[in-house]
Amino acid sequence: MAVLTEEQTLIRDQASAWVIDKAPVSSFRALRDSESGQGFQPETFQAMVDMGWSGILVPEQYGGSDLGYLTCGLILEQLGRQLTASPFFASSLVGATALALAGNSAQQEALLPGIVDGSAIVVLALEESSRHQPEQTALQADQEGDGFALNGSKTFVAEGMAATHCIVASRTSGEPGDARGISLFLVPSDAQGITRTALPTIDSRDHAKLSFSNVHVDNSALLGTLDEGMPVLEAVLDRARIGLAAEMLGTASQAFDMTLEYLKTRQQFGKVIGSFQALGHRAAEMYSLMEQSRSCVEAALQAVDAGADNVPQLASLAKCQVGKFLFKMSNELIQIHGGIGMTDEFDAGLYLKRARILEASFGNRAYHRDRYATLMDF
């Protein structure tokens, strides 16, 4: 396990206490049952802003605290434990990271303070199919006058309905499948020509399809270098994958704790079921997976903060390993609880549904096994 500073320990403990008290899974259930169409409760996110979480990755000159990715990961883990819905991951991590790595000073000055105070929700619009294939970007951005015209669509955009701005991966040259020719554009989500459609998903979160019809942006909207967006996009995606792995770790760890508590209290044939050897073996296997996953996630978070060269490898390792743990643990949560695990009244189903979305986001296990092998020259 990572050795935390006193400040990181305080933030982790604060996050743990807050999500249990103010944003537990029961709050998410109430949000789902309200059928309001909202992917999160604004007051919940505002509380995160007030605690300074939205500025964790933002430099101090823009109002943030710049406390690093390990600190951010500690918060994401606690949010994952209670299935707390918010734009924290999509905007405070992914959006802020993209602006920090690719934005110029004008773009950073325009939006980073807004990410910190919650007035700007900046998200990444990347996927164009149900599979994670960044190099297959096909949304076209053609030069037109003093800027570009965007045509195409993006799907499964996290927090897409709530977003104020989108970072849109676009093709400015070449063909889908080419790494070169991808450019990133910063686009207001209410720009003329953008149509946003809510996408119902099993985890009841805010996902949207964005359609672009001759959306004009001027040259100042370009984020980074024309045609050379793929390297910085991969750097952003790796940080997103690691952050998502931290959230997944929290979701799976909470499922483990729920299952362990049930094993200790549920009685059958006059004994607590945890005393049955077969169930004990299953719990031991899940515990081992949990500790392996934590090591992978914390190593990846620390590598980002240290500016290490092996961040891509560690990102894929973490996403794959935690994906394995979350898949197995969410299944065990249902199976060991038996009939009650299948009911909507019990929280296990909420964890299972969220698990399946998280596993597929930013590359599933198969994607990252292949990527890891390629990066390691296997």
Q: Measured between alpha carbons, how far is 11 from 32 in angstroms, rounded to an integer?
A: 28
- In this structure, the answer to whether residues 37 and 168 fall within a common structural domain is no
Q: How many domains does the chain have?
A: 3
Q: With bands split at pLDDT 50, 70 and 90, how would you rate the model's confidence at 93?
A: very high
- In this structure, the answer to whether residues 32 and 76 fall within a common structural domain is yes
367: in domain? yes
Q: Residues 123-170: pLDDT tens digits? A: 999 999 999 999 999 999 999 999 999 999 999 999 999 999 999 999
- In this structure, the answer to whether residues 55 and 44 fall within a common structural domain is yes
Structure tokens at 328: 């197995």
Q: Which of 158, 16, 155, 14 is nearest to 85 (CA)?
A: 158
- In this structure, the answer to whether residues 195 and 64 fall within a common structural domain is no
SS (HEC) of the chain: CCCCCHHHHHHHHHHHHHHHHHCCHHHHHHHHHHCCCCCCCHHHHHHHHHCCHHHCCCCHHHCCCCCCHHHHHHHHHHHHHCCCCCCHHHHHHHHHHHHHHHCCHHHHHHHHHHHHHCCCCEEEECCCCCCCCHHHCCCEEEEECCEEEEEEEEEEEECCCCCCEEEEEEECCCCCCCCCCEEEEEEECCCCCEEEEECCCCCCCCEEEEEEEEEEEEHHHEECCCCEHHHHHHHHHHHHHHHHHHHHHHHHHHHHHHHHHHHHHCEECCEEHHHCHHHHHHHHHHHHHHHHHHHHHHHHHHHHHHCCCCHHHHHHHHHHHHHHHHHHHHHHHHHHHHHHHHCCCCCHHHHHHHHHHHHHCCCCHHHHHHHHHHHCCC
44: in domain? yes
1: in domain? no
Contacts by 58-66, CB closer than 8 A, 24 or more apart: 58/96, 58/100, 58/112, 58/115, 58/116, 59/100, 59/112, 62/108, 62/109, 62/112, 62/113, 62/116, 63/112, 63/113, 63/116, 63/117, 64/96, 64/112, 64/116
Q: Which of 256, 274, 277, 261 is nearest to 329 (CA)?
A: 256
CATH for 160: 2.40.110.10
- In this structure, the answer to whether residues 215 and 251 fall within a common structural domain is no
Question: Contact, 233 vs 243, CB < 8 A?
Answer: no
pLDDT of residue 260: 85
Q: Residues 317-326: pLDDT tens digits? A: 999 999 999 9
Q: Measured between alpha carbons, how far is 296 from 248 in angstroms, rounded to an integer?
A: 12
Of 97, 117, 137, the last residue of a domain is 117
- In this structure, the answer to whether residues 301 and 173 fall within a common structural domain is no
pLDDT of residue 274: 62
- In this structure, the answer to whether residues 103 and 157 fall within a common structural domain is no
Domain that holds residue 369: 230-375
Q: With bands split at pLDDT 50, 70 and 90, how would you rate the model's confidence at 35?
A: confident
Residue 97 pLDDT > 90 = yes
Q: With bands split at pLDDT 50, 70 and 90, how would you rate the model's confidence at 92?
A: very high
- In this structure, the answer to whether residues 359 and 235 fall within a common structural domain is yes
- In this structure, the answer to whether residues 338 and 257 fall within a common structural domain is yes
Residue 48 pLDDT > 80 = yes
